[in-house]
Amino acid sequence: MMIANNKKKIPAIEYILGVLIIISFSCSKQEKPPDPVKDIDGNSYKTVKIGTQIWMAENLKTTRFNNGTEISLITDTTIWGGLKTPGYCWYDNDPVTYKDSYGALYNGFTATDTTLCPDGWHVPSKDDLHQLMIFLGDTASAGGKLKESGTTHWLTPNKGADNSSGFTAFASGIRYFEGSFTSVLYYTGFWSATKTGINDQWFMGLYYREASVVIEHRTSNIGLSVRCIKN
């Protein structure tokens, strides 16, 4: 005698729909992108998670420390060269052209102040920079992963640039210790807060002709960009 099979077969279309619902639910549970962060001036910055670190995805442009203290705006070349205290500027002393896209250039004395970044954030240490390199694989190709692709904010060939990290580095230039400006579209450097001496500290540099990253140290009198990292 045959025993009836009362198990109802699931039609193929219902099975497919069920799988799609499960996939959709799984995607919705993925980690959401980090929230933007605001500085004391009210500027809002996109952020990006790289490995276990959360970084600003735009250059800092605050004119005040997070306790409300004004940072000295230095336009004069002589004063800039002799400064031993915090100071900032806009590339070519032209905020209309450079502020929104490239942010400010800060001297190293500004970058070592613990109140420069918004509350809950800090200027990266040398160790933070090295950890970033580990997340990106190696220093030989990390620059390309950090640089914005294309030639809007970098000169050709902008070697290796694919911005696969989401860091979106622009070639924001440098202000030398004697006060001159140079290298916008060619080069960018990001301060660390780690000093090697009274007037010298570490930074990370990117160049339009290289896919690599350089982590080295220079005099604190130069002006470089700052990217804050979450505590």
Asked, for residue 81, whether it belongs to a domain, the answer is yes
The model's pLDDT over 97-107, given as tens digits with 9 standing for 90+, comes to: 999 999 999 99
DSSP 100: H
Average pLDDT over residues 182-209: 97
For 169-178, what is each residue's pLDDT tens digit?
999 999 999 9
> Does the residue 100 lie in any domain?
yes
Average pLDDT over residues 183-199: 96
DSSP-derived pairing of the beta strands 72-73 and 87-89: parallel
**Domain count for the chain:** 1
166 belongs to a structural domain: yes
pLDDT in tens, 131-152: 999 999 989 999 999 999 999 9
DSSP string, 1-52: -PPP--PPPPPHHHHHHHHHHHHHHHHHTSPPPPPPEE-TT--EE-EEEETT
Among the residue ranges 16-20, 103-107, 161-165, the one predicted with the least confidence is 16-20
Task: Tell me, yes or no, whether 94 lies in a domain.
Answer: yes
pLDDT at 21 over 80: no
Residue 96 is assigned to a structural domain of this protein: yes
Is residue 9 over pLDDT 80? no
For residue 146, which amino acid is it?
A: L
3-state class (DSSP) for residue 103 = coil
Whole-prediction pTM: 0.86
- Expressed as residue numbers, the domain containing 183 is 37-230
Instruction: Record the tokens describing residue 78, joined without a space.
Output: 């002589």
User: What is the pLDDT at residue 32?
Assistant: 74
- Assigned domain for 152 exists: yes
pLDDT given for residue 11 in this prediction = 57
Backbone angles phi, psi at 76, to 5 degrees: -75, 130
Question: Residue 28's pLDDT is what?
Answer: 43
Residue 92 lies in a domain: yes
Asked if omega into 124 is within 30° of 0 (cis), the reply is no
In a domain, 203, yes or no: yes
